[in-house]
Structure 1
Amino acid sequence: MVGGSYVLELDRWKINNNGTDAVNTSLGINNALDWASHEGFLEVIFPKGKYLIDENNPIKPQSNMTLNLGGSTLRIRDNSLQGYSVISFHNNQQYSRITNGKIEGDRYTHDYSIGGTHEGGYGIQIGSFTPPANGGNNTKYISIDNLEIFNCTGDAISLNSTFGQIFPTPVSLANSWETGGISTTNGTLTNNPNKIRSKLKIDMNQPAIIKYGYFGLYGNGFGNLGSDIISDFYDIIFYKSDNSFLLTRAQVQFFEEVEVPIGANYARIVLHQSNLPGSNNCLINVRVPSFSQYVFIEKCNLHHCRRQGITIAGAKNIYLRNNHVHHINGTPPQAAIDIEDGYDLNQFIYISQNNFHDNRSYNVIVVNGKKIFIENNRFSNTLSGGVSLAVNAGADKVTVYNNDFHIAKVILAGNILFSNNNLYATQVSILGEYNNRPINVTDNLFHNCKLIIDNPFSYLVQINGCRFYNDSDKLNAFSNLQWTLELKNKPQSILNCSFQGLDVYYLTYTTNTTFNGGWIFENTTFQNVKNPALLAGFYRSCTFKDIDLLTVFSKDFDILELSSCNIISKDLNNSLITVNNIKSLIIKNCYIEKPNNTLIKIQNITDELQLINNNFKVINNTLTRPIVLLEPSFSGNLINIESNTFTTKNSNQVGIQNSTINDPLIVIRNNILQKSTISTNGKEIIQNNIVDGKLLP
């Protein structure tokens, strides 16, 4: 027969569906699946019941077949093994589906007495680090859907790969480099100081290459290529057995598979870099890894497993959609989804429309991998303060888009686009270890949240188009989040953002020991924020509305520049901006307004003060204090106050008061003062200032 469905004949195959006789049940199911495959059936349907599975003989699905559990439960027999699987794919299966049932581990009745972690107990295992000799991990087009998988001692579902190292060995390869290239058109050696080539030949007749038809250059067991490998690309030049040129695979990326052309006898490698690596700093492995591709895990309920919901340890083109993963706890890492072993072998992984909650340590953790898409998911609280989403520094080209984070923690350290997410009562920490992996955070809503930026490389992080909004819940229910921005380490860019609402203490927090100047704020609005603060750096076209004070965070070698900004304070009693221990302050083309008191108080500036083309306005004036006050502690070289307008309502107000006692160059010119005066010490250069409509002598 070709096609059609086969209903499992229990008596024929000596199968029990009453939860007994694991040995014969497993044996009978596998015999039945093998027979049905040979007969051409496309589906095997289980009569509803409970099937006890032998821990030493997992169910082995067939290619081109659907395994329909018919609402049944497959339950592993109680055991003491460190690892087992209820269902396993270890034979390079293709176009195989598991659906419509339950898979249950023995977590709560397992015998842990022999010691060890017992973290290898899986509901479904796709691939293995040590597949059988007559099997393999190159499974393709596997579908797992509409299943409940629970109570496993390890993972609900685990995708594993083999390392597959072949010759030459890493040590031999590391010592084989020389300066020069190889022609990609005829295979001859070339003099090229911008490339290096290996003197070794890679034999295309090795058994693993013959079996799978591909190979590639990969990192070591931790995904590391070596500190002296600075190129992302290489060329492979293939030769025939008579040493004649065959063809070239050019600009191949590490961790990609290279298809071996027909007739190839050996190949040579060229790296796109000029420096020769030291023998200890080149960790490239020539490998034929075996791994899963095109696996679809959909509409599954994965819960109460000890280690993970889903582990991806070397796989490509994986789709995890519409799953509910929760209450994973017991032994580390304790994540709903963990993308880890295999490193950059993990590629094109799509995580969408899932619901993650109540997992012990992580909801999703990406330790390493590239081209990973995390979209339209619901992330909520983890147990014991764990992390909802962690994208570690080794991850590359990760997109996190349109997710909902509710009372969560997020760590972003790799190369990420974090966009259009809705975050509530969530702490986001932006870290990083590599200077070539930018982090972009765009168009997100941070509601009662805290954002920590702590990256060691300048301007690698960009926050663009985000809204930060705080309400009374931030002050009362989520006081542990304390402030909206915590800025550390090297300066970054915050563009086109808005900050609104009061915080527990203040908006921005820094410490001198972890903070560096040079931050860029552009076209950003701060509204109804008591003390948003000014960080040493550059503010361009920013708005501060309905604020109280602007505390300055800086060191004595920093510069603070405000240009084309609008600043409106509602505070009645305090100085708006007090500047101390900074190299330079530049304020130009700004509008600054306050009901009372001093707008700019200058204490110690070690180089220059520039106030140019600003509009300073005091609208109440019950306190007759200077609008701009230059205190005796000023130790800089230059004060330039030029083309500003000072407006008050109190004719006794001092617009500019110079109380400096050192001898900087002080230029006060082309200013207009209404109902205010200039107080000098006689050492200034004063030109063309107009006071109450009259040119000041």
Structure 2
Amino acid sequence: MNILKLVMSLMLGLQLLLIPNQASAEAPDSKDYYLIELSKFGIYNDGTHPVETTKGINNALQWAVKNGKTTTSLPPGTYLIDKANRINMVSNMVFDLPMDAVLKKETNDKESYQLMYLGYGVHNVTLRGGTYVGDRETHNYSKKDNKHSSGTHEAGYGIFTQGAYDITIDGVKSINFTGDGLILGGYGTMAKDLYEDHFVLGAFDDKGKNVANAKKLRTKQPLNFTNTIFKTEKQFELSNAIKLPYKFDIFFYKANGAFIKKLVNVKVRELIDIPEGATQFHLVFEQATKKGAYVEFWNKSVTKNVVVKNSEFAYNRRQGITVGGADQVLIENNVLHHIKGTMPQSGIDVEGGFGENGHRNSNITIKSNKFHDNASYDVILYDGKDAIVEDNHLASKGAIGLAISDPFKGAMIKGNHFDGSRIAAAHDATFIDNKMNDSYTSFTGPNIKIDGMTFTDSMFLISAKDAFGVSASNIVMNNNKKSDSGLSLWGKPIRLKNITINGEGKLRVVTGGITEGSIIDNLKVTGFNTDSGLTLPPATYNNCEFIGAAGTGKFGSIAISQAGKYVFDGCSFQSPPALSTLVIAEHPKLDLTIKNSTFELLGNSQAISIQSAKNLLLENNTITAEKLTSDKTEIVRINDYWKRNNPHDVLKAVIRGNTITTNLAAIGITTLYAGTGAPAYLIENNTLYTAKLVQKKNDILKNNSIKKK
């Protein structure tokens, strides 16, 4: 009997553990918790009666908040939400649903709709659990809401916050909407629009009194803060200025006309705080005509203090989540996938349309989310400021994992994995300890810093818009000959430090065409493809290392082949046995210096072949070639036999202080085939062990030493 009681007790305990937690904020038997009674409010959970169901849920929420309930829930089932209506969330409420409670939008032909709406001023709300479903698969896309609408049907939203604050969205599923699974948006109120007849010539003095001024334009009557929005909001802005300067002065007054203060050089779209006691204000523009003048006086309130976590946003046409006017947002530990249908087709898009009279975005954190199978983007930082994108897995293959556009400033990108997805970053971003595989980047700058990034079979592409607008350090690139991977540098000069490139790409693992002036420190290229070689852009290379891959490649040299100044200082070069020539330099405007560097030739190879140059300096280098098989091999050569009768194209050359060691009596230095009319080259203070010096007649030779080993 005791054993039977024990078994039954354990079974009962297990059953209790398996019961889903319907409302973790409040226990179901709490007086603050309310499981909405379907019959009481005329709600159907069988996917029918959308009008009655929507009205009933809204009435139930209103009843709950009036009766002191702080957590509400619905039983499992499908709740069809009216195509012409929505659920209007109330403040101070946890709406806690089991996942098999499905809120489904009725099939419709609307370009714009919402299923769940959190309007201006709604606050202290948690949406926990539940499945929000749109009508994407059955929607009628042929109609327009009005003759001026776009017809794109991209504004069907699952959850829409518009100027709400203190919001948590936890463990929801929002799928199949014609637009976005979730949009965090702003609420705009135009208090007044001003036309040319609202202005007169004149200004105000430092005491706020109007004065004559034929070179300035002021408001005829004061603008006031009587709109109800200013009972709760204490900021405003001017927007959409036409035929007016971008900057203006503003003068604040009390209700009795007493002057309070003035602000000067305020910008259009700048947030302006309303001073204590101010009820009205005047504007002054530095402009002598009012013809065509127009400007708008707005309050724009964004959604604030939002957490979106542990949720899934999928199979929506436009976005998983749009941050379209929000401040202090944390989006964490969500899954966003299969966004496809109408652009931008992104997992998360931070885009308020600020430049088009839209809303501000600021202080956005996107952390520890998983993205996959999104058609165009995983994350877009389009406009706003101050975002952190951290520890995300961005795995929409072939799509852009992260785009940072020109209107966005101040992005910190840290510890993310770009798994087959790209990076396209315009400016004002810092990248720390990220990794990428099977993809490529596009960094343009200015003000982009990359520190600590690992690439696998990827292209690290920099195309700098401004000089030194992009810098990168502590980069590791691993290539497995799967793709055209490596380092590609274009545009204006940049600064690189501690770049390690391992293994062969299908083509060149270093290439590019940056203008001269870049500084590249500690670039280490090991095992590059000796069928394709390298194409080094103009730069100063300090303490760099270049090692070709062992193999059969004969003609994949290190090419120094662009106009501009190259300096190699303290570098090392190593050729594998099969390679014919390690370094080939050729451009009529090339200015090349190689100094304090080492060359190790592991086969019957040339070290340096100069085919054309404006200026050449080879100084204090050490060249070792102890695997030669022919004494006709030329270690350092200016031009070649086949060009000996052509006009010279190496205009100046100094070969000084180098040490060349060979195992055969090969040709250590030759200028013999420099071409017709070649000037005298200076060859001095070089030491050749075993190798020979072969020069043309007019060269200047000083203190060179030919020795045996």
TM-score band, normalised by the shorter chain? 0.7 to 0.9
2:308–2:332 contact (8 Å) kept in structure 1? yes
Alignment of 1:224-303 (within 5 A): 238=252, 240=254, 246=260, 257-266=271-280, 287-303=298-314
- Return the match for 2:425 from 405, 408, 412: 412
Tell me which amino acid in the other structure corresponds to 1:59: I
Report the structure number with the largest CA radius of gyration.
Answer: 2
Matched, 1:574 2:594: no
* Match of residue 413 from structure 2: 400
Alignment of 1:133-282 (within 5 A): 138-165=163-190, 169=194, 203-205=223-225, 207=227, 210-217=230-237, 220=240, 238=252, 240=254, 246=260, 257-266=271-280
- Return the match for 1:101 from 109, 126, 130: 130
For 2:82 and 2:42, the matched residues in 1 are separated by 14
Pairwise CA distance, 1:652: 3.9
2:315–2:337 contact (8 Å) kept in structure 1? yes
* Match of residue 502 from structure 1: 504
Alignment: residue pair count: 646
Pairwise CA distance, 1:308: 1.4
Tell me which amino acid in the other structure corresponds to 1:669: E
- Return the match for 1:61 from 81, 89, 93: 89
For 2:377 and 2:133, the matched residues in 1 are separated by 22
Distance 1:6 1:562, change over 3 A: same
For 1:402 and 1:465, the matched residues in 2 are separated by 14
- Return the match for 2:435 from 395, 398, 422: 422
1:18–1:51 contact (8 Å) kept in structure 2? yes
1:3–1:42 contact (8 Å) kept in structure 2? no
Matched, 1:339 2:354: no
1:379-429 alpha-carbon deviations (Å, 9 max, x no partner):
1124xx432222222221111111112122221223211221121112222
For 2:479 and 2:54, the matched residues in 1 are separated by 58
- Return the match for 1:79 from 105, 108, 112: 108
Unaligned regions of 5+ residues in structure 2, if any?
A: 1-29, 145-150
Pairwise CA distance, 1:459: 2.0
Pairwise CA distance, 1:504: 0.7
With 565-574 and 524-533 compared, the bigger mean Cα shift is at: 565-574
1:624-656 alpha-carbon deviations (Å, 9 max, x no partner):
322211225543543222222111111343334
Distance 1:392 1:64, change over 3 A: same
Normalization by structure 1: what TM-score? 0.83
With 664-673 and 535-544 compared, the bigger mean Cα shift is at: 664-673
Distance 1:202 1:562, change over 3 A: farther
Matched, 1:126 2:126: no
Tell me which amino acid in the other structure corresponds to 2:307: F
Distance 1:68 1:516, change over 3 A: same
Pairwise CA distance, 1:26: 1.3
Alignment of 1:522-561 (within 5 A): 522-530=521-529, 531-547=533-549, 549-555=556-562, 557-561=563-567
1:647-678 alpha-carbon deviations (Å, 9 max, x no partner):
11113433344433434352222222211232
For 1:209 and 1:684, the matched residues in 2 are separated by 86
1:167–1:202 contact (8 Å) kept in structure 2? no
For 2:486 and 2:231, the matched residues in 1 are separated by 56
Pairwise CA distance, 1:338: 1.5
Q: Residue 421 of structure 1: SS of its match in structure 2? A: strand
Unaligned regions of 5+ residues in structure 1, if any?
A: 128-137, 190-195
1:469–1:501 contact (8 Å) kept in structure 2? yes
1:674–1:692 contact (8 Å) kept in structure 2? yes
1:417-458 alpha-carbon deviations (Å, 9 max, x no partner):
1221121112222235xxxx4222221110111122223322
For 1:171 and 1:551, the matched residues in 2 are separated by 67
Distance 1:168 1:79, change over 3 A: closer
1:256–1:345 contact (8 Å) kept in structure 2? no
Matched, 1:362 2:377: yes
For 1:174 and 1:688, the matched residues in 2 are separated by 86
For 2:31 and 2:249, the matched residues in 1 are separated by 46
1:226-261 alpha-carbon deviations (Å, 9 max, x no partner):
9996x9xx9977555677664578998986633312
Distance 1:410 1:145, change over 3 A: same
* Match of residue 376 from structure 1: 391
For 1:380 and 1:299, the matched residues in 2 are separated by 18
1:237–1:268 contact (8 Å) kept in structure 2? yes
For 1:446 and 1:279, the matched residues in 2 are separated by 58
Q: Residue 277 of structure 2: SS of its match in structure 1? A: coil
Pairwise CA distance, 1:538: 1.6
For 2:525 and 2:198, the matched residues in 1 are separated by 57
2:489–2:537 contact (8 Å) kept in structure 1? no
* Match of residue 587 from structure 1: 594
For 2:302 and 2:89, the matched residues in 1 are separated by 17
* Match of residue 628 from structure 1: 636
With 288-297 and 631-640 compared, the bigger mean Cα shift is at: 631-640
Pairwise CA distance, 1:309: 0.9
Pairwise CA distance, 1:542: 0.7
Pairwise CA distance, 1:175: 12
Tell me which amino acid in the other structure corresponds to 2:417: D
For 1:602 and 1:276, the matched residues in 2 are separated by 63
For 1:657 and 1:634, the matched residues in 2 are separated by 11
For 1:174 and 1:438, the matched residues in 2 are separated by 41
Pairwise CA distance, 1:498: 0.3
Tell me which amino acid in the other structure corresponds to 2:304: Q
With 358-367 and 238-247 compared, the bigger mean Cα shift is at: 238-247
Matched, 1:28 2:37: no
Pairwise CA distance, 1:324: 0.9
